[in-house]
Structure 1
């Protein structure tokens, strides 16, 4: 669109929805872990956290962002912050809120403590961020402190910033919680409204102009019957604080029930125009925006790291302005920038052409600033940035690394097998004759502790201080030590421990074609746990064997079976920053064919069990029910393509964790893995209920203890989990395993917990023998 056809943009302002907590060098993570290990005390932790908060705010201020979020910073998780602000501390922590909840209780809810399991942790909608699930059973909400107000006052007093407090809206907070029956949802929302009213009233009294009220559940297929309580909630809040501007903020998809929700008594409506499949735009074009309401236009991708074509964004904004006015538009990211790395400044090794196509959080702030300067002020340098961005995007999309078309992929798949040659019932007999495993076989999910010694050795090797032979010898020593430990404990199916792997996705990406890797592209996954997702920038293909050497070495040390360990295609896709120029399904199938070559190499090396992990398959599920089956179809297809060519005697395992699986058990069965292990410990075995109504006819292990907590459950606790599962699952198909890999645990914790697990499995076997 040419300048003379643009609307009048003089009133255009920018806004941000949230900024990464972790710091440019992960200072946030390091401070938390120093506090947890006793290296610093609570006062020192508070000092460091304040320094980081102010640094992040100052950076946004310097970039010229008009509305800067405050209260998005957290010591662990924003949902947990809301829980403790409203005194929702689970009974097992033996704490009755009276004023601010102590940090010790706050972290205990997240991480567990002696005698009390941590609260459940699950994915934040369809992202790889994990939140702490509020527990509302027997809840008696009580106001403890106004965290958003504290954040607002700090920003104003320290930096002169008139911040935009961020809170989780009442409907999404309850909908994403647990411990209540659905018919109680409206009553629970009503019980929280006085507390929300107090928070907002105190903000209004301090002169706050805008509050961002996050309601991401409104982009899911939530029940239409909930519209009445949503309406009631916002009418109540608006009546209590009529002078306060509330931005009802949604993200990750298009708004359900647009006509009704757009008329809620709020002053602004924030919509995602990046991941909405064009639906939010159609809503606005078809139904308009109520008079006087501000539109928060999420036009910069807050979830992926690709640079925006700002000319295309300008055209989109022009369409929106025709339905309202530039003065009613706020330009913002599609969601919080929590989901992308902090800055490109540290990236010195990436290809120059690729760097020019990327934008991390700080660069996305620059894009917002460029849009407002170009459109609102006709700034020449900002106008030039619009042109430059369009050219950079077009240039990279035509790169020689991106040549495979959808037709090429379809033709390739027509020539390739896409399913196992023998059905599970027959494979099961063949495999049991070969493996001769005991009832309720025990195993682990794959990784063992990544100690400081292991991380140091890896760094020395990468820096060239160690030769390849030195590093190989060291890794083999680690493998041998843990093969011996597993045999001594009495585990039935062993693993090599993955000591050579930095990360379960990065490791494979480094060995496949089509990937690039950052030096400092960290994002928060859960708590202080940060991951550095690879970038899928081009067509993916197999280069050479990736895991055969270590797995075959481990198998040579024992007569017990050792599982080969791979990360599956859909998890690699979901845990990477994937290219956005072709459908995700096509990228997944490229990955599947590349990984199939590795599966075949393991089998040829004599490995008779191969685990293709898919812990992230559930998190990629679209938020809209009508879009979910199509995703599951191609996700299942990708898994089956990966494993289709192995012999019937080769046992294929997979693993999934931290998600709600109740509604996709049929798709899990359709993957046709011989054994699946699924996390259940933090959800206290709730998944088991699903098997009371649904039949699962393949091998399955429901995790019997939570590896993300330092707490070690006793034998009786694990035995109870096993016995509860055996009420609805056949004992001859049941496996005993932890929830997930043990990478983040200490050696002592791992050995102690695994001993308890094996003892619990033996007790369950003994009970089965008696009953039979």
Structure 2
């Protein structure tokens, strides 16, 4: 195709084929590995990942993308952004301080955690405050030297750019953005100069913030940043890398003094192509062509990708080009080679990280006119077999959807009267979000059952015994609305996907969610339809054990969509509606079984928000509609709860209201009550539970700190609508932590309840 074509990767999964990274981390945290043993193990993993990429034929291999927890936490630690509560007497950040920032201690709450753009990965939010940054260590340089010395790999160092880093940080006024940027730029210059002196030819600076909505003033900051790098680090080739969407302010960004610009031609295809065709691309820059989907698991159609390359080349004929994934492969599983239990037609249509590297190399061979025709033929045959075998159902799902109501019969104020009469709950009722500790005993029993080593009746008895145990614990603690504990559930999405039609499940398709927490997203490969009741048996049994209400627990349609690898042949909106119709049938089954307090969790609604604000309304409209399709066909006295966690909701309060849930619980503890500010300026007239303690930290919150959070919330929220709960499910905590924390929560609620009650005369 004329100009020079090479290939590259943008980042590789940290987990390992069998989650070796996760096990090393957790062994270190529990003291089974000392620091030197731990560092030795993770170094071996890191080098193996690099070797694998080299052996696959990748030419530009990223280094510095590996992390011991999170790459944004790495950047914060590298520049000395250590909150005062974690300070130590050394400039270099110790491993204990690093992990304390992520996980918290008994005396110091962890740093806030939130979603990485519109993915299900969570990053640790840097706390800038009044801290003057310093370079504690040059992490990209260490990674570059290690790859060169150990494996003779001339790697491509990866670093999060200063614009994105500051945009994702907190603790400073946005009017001070330029001041903070001016403090950081000399440190970035030092990092880059040291990389240049060490021999690095390319450095990848990740600036995904450039695809989100940003102002003309932000353009000035971006120009200032990259002009500084060009002037003060001459001779170093910088690849300014964007992903997840089309870049904004295309003309200004392509005119920056950088050597390359990486664009996402998967999720940003239409807008990036339109910009290319309208404005062209500078001949003196290298274009990073992100053409292999780094966020989904479907095999690339090589013929259509070749056509896409030709289209791109026509609009940028004189620029050198690098074929690469659309983003880091952090968001997909490592390899499909272990997926021997999957249907072969479906398996042949999948592509995980290792297979995506192969696709990148094959595309490189296509543009070099050295492609193996048999490989391309096999690719087309596999995709054709898949489309002919699946996605051909004729069920009229649209008719089912149109027959469902999408709003409750009565307004919240009207149906609240029915619910108050039915439930007769105290002021400030206490509850939990749903799950209780998934202990080793629970996990082993479930694994034995799934392997056929524990008979179904024996497993059922085990689950019922756990429910009995925790119903009694909740009653003893004094919780008002109980849950069954979800001991039968492996994951809040996978559990439902296994019981609905249209989902497939991998054996080893793990991806990182946060820290060592991994999830195994289901694959939506066909139409989603209801099969039979999924949660009724456990919910009905738990309710039989107590006179207190027990909530039915479901995962909402948008969360199931956002936490799955969705099909790519129909719109996400349409898939969400299919899931909603199926869930509405489960809601009906629960209600018919006498479970009339039902929680339909939607923790992932906000993370699916488009990165461009002008596209928010459409997404929120169909997300709200999907939730209401699932939850509106119930009696007036049936109380619908939902839950959302770890996101900034200040800018979507109206959509939260539009869900029309009777009670919504939202995380506030890890963000230190900042969400409460939303309700100081916006009226919210439905039931709300603001999470009063952080379940992601092992510390046990005191009665006093929870009381203080409740009292602040009650200054802006009606007492009659306020619920008390943790900020998320408790499956990751151990039993003593959970019991002690819930005891404190109930005591705090009782104290505040007493202070709020009107004294009788």
TM-score, length-scaled by structure 1? 0.97
Provide the secondary structure at the position in 2 that maps to 1:619: helix
Could you tell me which residue of structure 1 aligns to residue 386 of structure 2? 396
Cα deviation, 1:138-182, whole Å, max 9, x if unaligned, reads 121011000000000000111110000000000000001011111
Could you tell me which residue of structure 1 aligns to residue 370 of structure 2? 379
Matched, 1:290 2:282: yes
Distance 1:771 1:242 in 2: 74
Return the offset for 1:97. Answer: 4.8
Could you tell me which residue of structure 1 aligns to residue 218 of structure 2? 226
Alignment of 1:151-166 (within 5 A): 151-166=143-158
Return the offset for 1:512. Answer: 0.4
Return the offset for 1:12. Answer: 1.4
Could you tell me which residue of structure 2 aligns to residue 417 of structure 1? 405
Provide the secondary structure at the position in 1 that maps to 2:165: helix
Distance 1:236 1:482 in 2: 60
Matched, 1:627 2:615: yes
Match of 2:31 among 22, 34, 38: 38
Return the offset for 1:327. Answer: 6.1
Larger mean Cα displacement after TM superposition, 461-470 or 554-563: 461-470
Alignment of 1:453-532 (within 5 A): 453-532=441-520
How many residue pairs get matched? 760
Alignment of 1:251-330 (within 5 A): 251-325=243-317, 328-330=320-322
Return the offset for 1:499. Answer: 0.1
Provide the secondary structure at the position in 1 that maps to 2:261: strand
Could you tell me which residue of structure 2 aligns to residue 667 of structure 1? 655
Distance 1:216 1:353 in 2: 35
Return the offset for 1:735. Answer: 0.5
Provide the secondary structure at the position in 1 that maps to 2:594: coil
Provide the secondary structure at the position in 2 that maps to 1:259: helix
Asked whether the equivalents of residues 87 and 97 of structure 1 are also in contact (C-alpha less than 8 Å), the reply is no
Matched, 1:54 2:47: yes
Could you tell me which residue of structure 1 aligns to residue 196 of structure 2? 204
Provide the secondary structure at the position in 1 that maps to 2:689: strand
Distance 2:471 2:400 in 1: 40
Distance 2:572 2:283 in 1: 38
Provide the secondary structure at the position in 1 that maps to 2:246: coil
Matched, 1:728 2:716: yes
Distance 2:399 2:445 in 1: 45
Provide the secondary structure at the position in 2 that maps to 1:55: helix
Return the offset for 1:336. Answer: 0.2
Cα deviation, 1:690-721, whole Å, max 9, x if unaligned, reads 11111111000110000001011111111111
Asked whether the equivalents of residues 129 and 339 of structure 1 are also in contact (C-alpha less than 8 Å), the reply is yes
Provide the secondary structure at the position in 2 that maps to 1:296: strand
Could you tell me which residue of structure 2 aligns to residue 4 of structure 1? none
Distance 1:548 1:12, change over 3 A: same
Asked whether the equivalents of residues 285 and 319 of structure 2 are also in contact (C-alpha less than 8 Å), the reply is no
Provide the secondary structure at the position in 1 that maps to 2:683: coil
Could you tell me which residue of structure 1 aligns to residue 88 of structure 2? 95
Asked whether the equivalents of residues 390 and 525 of structure 2 are also in contact (C-alpha less than 8 Å), the reply is no
Superposed CA RMSD in Å reads: 1.3
Alignment of 1:141-152 (within 5 A): 141-152=133-144
TM-score, length-scaled by structure 2? 0.98
Matched, 1:342 2:334: yes
Alignment of 1:359-378 (within 5 A): 359-376=351-368, 378=369
Provide the secondary structure at the position in 1 that maps to 2:607: coil
Could you tell me which residue of structure 2 aligns to residue 444 of structure 1? 432
Matched, 1:84 2:69: no
Distance 2:107 2:394 in 1: 55
Distance 1:222 1:391 in 2: 44
* Structure 1, unpaired ranges of 5+: 1-6
Return the offset for 1:686. Answer: 0.5
Distance 1:352 1:341 in 2: 18
Could you tell me which residue of structure 2 aligns to residue 677 of structure 1? 665
Distance 2:371 2:13 in 1: 30
Cα deviation, 1:720-754, whole Å, max 9, x if unaligned, reads 11111111111100000001000000000000100
Return the offset for 1:384. Answer: 3.3
Match of 1:648 among 627, 636, 639: 636
Asked whether the equivalents of residues 259 and 286 of structure 2 are also in contact (C-alpha less than 8 Å), the reply is yes
Alignment of 1:114-125 (within 5 A): 114-125=106-117
Return the offset for 1:769. Answer: 2.1
Larger mean Cα displacement after TM superposition, 656-665 or 386-395: 386-395
Match of 2:181 among 184, 189, 193: 189
Distance 1:181 1:401 in 2: 50
Distance 2:185 2:424 in 1: 59
Return the offset for 1:380. Answer: 4.5
Asked whether the equivalents of residues 287 and 319 of structure 2 are also in contact (C-alpha less than 8 Å), the reply is no
Could you tell me which residue of structure 1 aligns to residue 685 of structure 2? 697
Distance 1:696 1:277, change over 3 A: farther
Distance 1:578 1:593 in 2: 17
Return the offset for 1:318. Answer: 1.3
Alignment of 1:541-620 (within 5 A): 541-620=529-608
Distance 1:643 1:673 in 2: 8
Distance 1:618 1:409 in 2: 26
* Structure 2, unpaired ranges of 5+: none
Return the offset for 1:466. Answer: 1.3
Matched, 1:177 2:157: no
Matched, 1:710 2:702: no
Distance 1:717 1:510 in 2: 40
Return the offset for 1:770. Answer: 5.8
Distance 1:404 1:654, change over 3 A: farther
Matched, 1:236 2:224: no
Distance 1:96 1:262, change over 3 A: farther
Distance 1:283 1:388 in 2: 34
Return the offset for 1:224. Answer: 2.5
Distance 2:278 2:379 in 1: 30
Distance 1:412 1:224, change over 3 A: farther
Distance 1:326 1:351 in 2: 45
Asked whether the equivalents of residues 47 and 147 of structure 2 are also in contact (C-alpha less than 8 Å), the reply is yes
Cα deviation, 1:199-258, whole Å, max 9, x if unaligned, reads 000000111000000000110012222111111011111111110011100000010100
Could you tell me which residue of structure 2 aligns to residue 358 of structure 1? 350
Distance 1:584 1:363 in 2: 24
Distance 1:228 1:289 in 2: 21
Distance 1:487 1:695 in 2: 34
Distance 1:95 1:232, change over 3 A: same
Return the offset for 1:410. Answer: 4.2
Distance 1:435 1:326 in 2: 71
Return the offset for 1:393. Answer: 2.7
Larger mean Cα displacement after TM superposition, 193-202 or 325-334: 325-334
